[in-house]
A and B are shown apart, each in its own frame.
Chain A
Amino acid sequence: MEPVHASVLPDVPGEKTKISTSIVDTASSTIQTFAPTKKIHQHLCVFHFYADDMTRQVEAHHYCCHLNNEMRQCLIYDRSEPDARLIGLEYIVTEELFLTLPDTEKPLWHSHEYEVKSGVLFLPGVPGAVERQELDQLAKTYGKAIHFWQVDKGDELPLGLPQVMMSLTRDGQLYPNLARDMESRYGVTFEKERENRAYMEGLAHGVHPKANAAGIGLKTVLREIECKPSGLPSLEPVPRALT
């Protein structure tokens, strides 16, 4: 079955926001400060697939900021509209920083070189020449993407365990209907972008063999364990029993 775009999925269950609630939201959005999120300066569109199932492909709208020259952090939404669902996050590091990761950690990270050079990863609204400066750098990075909301399954709520996500690494992986849908909504042509980006060098050391789950599938599991006690006595006078 070919994946559908998130916009055809039903709304998140729940009642429409009450006016009294939205008054408080308006007040807080005016009075409070939002420094970490005001720093977000970049919107990237790309596709992720589940690390245990390449046939499940998800449009991923990344909203990113730089923490420093070596690292970015991104919030991932299922669309670029105000009612977008926050479905995951991704961290992006330079090749240099990636190479310092323990070997057990590297498989959780994916390369960006193919996505950039194939034209599939793009920055909506940014003119090509400016976009390509940024993409030239992104082609030399690795990302760690985790999704918490499986919208492609039709989940109306964020159910289940966190999912490790991977990125496209070669031609033939991306479903054509998803590609065409993205192209028509954003007025881009991936093939044309591929030509424009042919000069980009990508990773200095090539794709690391342990990255992209080292070519195998990864599945998250939940383990039930003995709780570690804190050793602290109860310090709180309980106003009333809340159990």
Chain B
Amino acid sequence: MSLTNEAGHKTNGTPTSKPLSTGQQILNKGAQMLQSFKPINQMTQHACTFALYNHDMSRQIETHHFITRLNQDFLQSAVYDTDDTNGRLIGIEYIVSDAIFETLPPEEQKLWHSHAYEIKSGLWVHPRMPEMIAMPELKNLAKTYGKFWCTWQTDRGDKVPLGMPSLMMPPQSEGAGVVKPEVVRKRDEEYKVSKEDSMKSRIEIPEPEWINPTADYWRQHNKCFEVDVESTEINVRTEYS
């Protein structure tokens, strides 16, 4: 069972902050009733899976994706560290079909990862969705590629998002890509799923005929990526229209 602190945060010990005042809650409710949230209303899927920091693959986190489909070949997701109301927004993942992925230049492809293993292994689940109903979507996803930036390293206890975004990798079958069994077990117990059962039910999902070797860059090249920031000359507006 996950730990929960006084503020209801599922936590690894991150200090709590001041809860929302009643006045702020009333203000929030009022504004919420008056505004529209069309882009947010387009989120149709919740997926739970695992991700590893590319710059340190021993750090492995459970992730919750709230996904919007823009067309048959493209999905965009907001990623949180839990799926409850205290979920912290930890990043964004984009998902494209293999057809779209092949149109990307190699320099871009290096930043993306394949999903076949994550789906077939049963690590990626749609909480509360029966496998049979999710199956058409799982078949689609098995052939996709993703690009996932994490902006808040809550797993190391950061109280606020610090530093530059991290490139995230999905689980893989061997080496540094293997997710620790206790991390998977914790998730499976909480959501009453079984990675092994899901894997069996997904045997019928066809594997991609080919996974582009430029994706999952670390596997073929044994090199990883991190993002840094440098100071530079800023281009400014020099005239008023």
- CB-CB under 8 A for A27 and B43, given A85-B70, A230-B58: no
- CB-CB under 8 A for A175 and B28, given A36-B84, A89-B151: no
Measured in the bound complex, the distance between the Cα atoms of B97 and A23 in whole Å is 19
Contact of A42 among B31, B83, B152, B219 (CB under 8 A): B31
Contact of A221 among B151, B163, B230 (CB under 8 A): B230
**B190 within 8 Å of A by Cβ?**
no
Contact B165–A146 (Cβ < 8 Å): yes
Chain B residues contacting A33 (CB-CB under 8 Å) are 46, 83, 127-128
Contact B89–A89 (Cβ < 8 Å): yes
Measured in the bound complex, the distance between the Cα atoms of B240 and A139 in whole Å is 26
Residue of B nearest to A88 (CB): B92
Contact of A32 among B80, B128, B147, B211 (CB under 8 A): B128
Contact B58–A225 (Cβ < 8 Å): no
Contact of B178 among A144, A157, A230 (CB under 8 A): A230
**B189 within 8 Å of A by Cβ?**
no
Contact count band on B = 35 or more
**A93 within 8 Å of B by Cβ?**
yes
Q: A108 CB to closest chain B CB, in angstroms? A: 7
Contact A28–B129 (Cβ < 8 Å): yes
Contact B73–A86 (Cβ < 8 Å): no
Measured in the bound complex, the distance between the Cα atoms of B218 and A125 in whole Å is 48
Contact A164–B229 (Cβ < 8 Å): yes
Max chain A C-beta neighbours (<10 A), residue from B120, B121, B234: B234
Contact of B40 among A20, A75, A146, A220 (CB under 8 A): A75
Chain B positions 148-174 with a Cβ under 8 Å from a chain A Cβ: 149, 151-152, 160-165, 173-174
Contact of A225 among B34, B55, B80, B88 (CB under 8 A): B55
Residue of A nearest to B97 (CB): A14
* B residues adjacent to A (C-beta < 8 A): 7, 16-21, 24, 27-32, 34-46, 54-58, 64, 66, 68-74, 76-78, 80, 82-89, 91-92, 94, 96-97, 100, 103-104, 108, 111, 116-117, 120-121, 126-129, 133-134, 136-137, 140, 147, 149, 151-152, 160-165, 173-176, 178, 180-181, 199, 203, 207, 211, 218-219, 222-237, 240-241
Contact count band on A = 35 or more
Measured in the bound complex, the distance between the Cα atoms of B94 and A147 in whole Å is 13
Residue of B nearest to A101 (CB): B160
* A residues adjacent to B (C-beta < 8 A): 2, 11-18, 20-29, 31-43, 51-56, 61, 63, 65-71, 73, 75, 77, 79-86, 88-89, 91, 93, 97, 101-102, 105, 108, 123-127, 130, 133-134, 144, 146, 148-149, 157-162, 164, 172-173, 175-177, 213, 216-232, 234-236, 238-240, 242-243
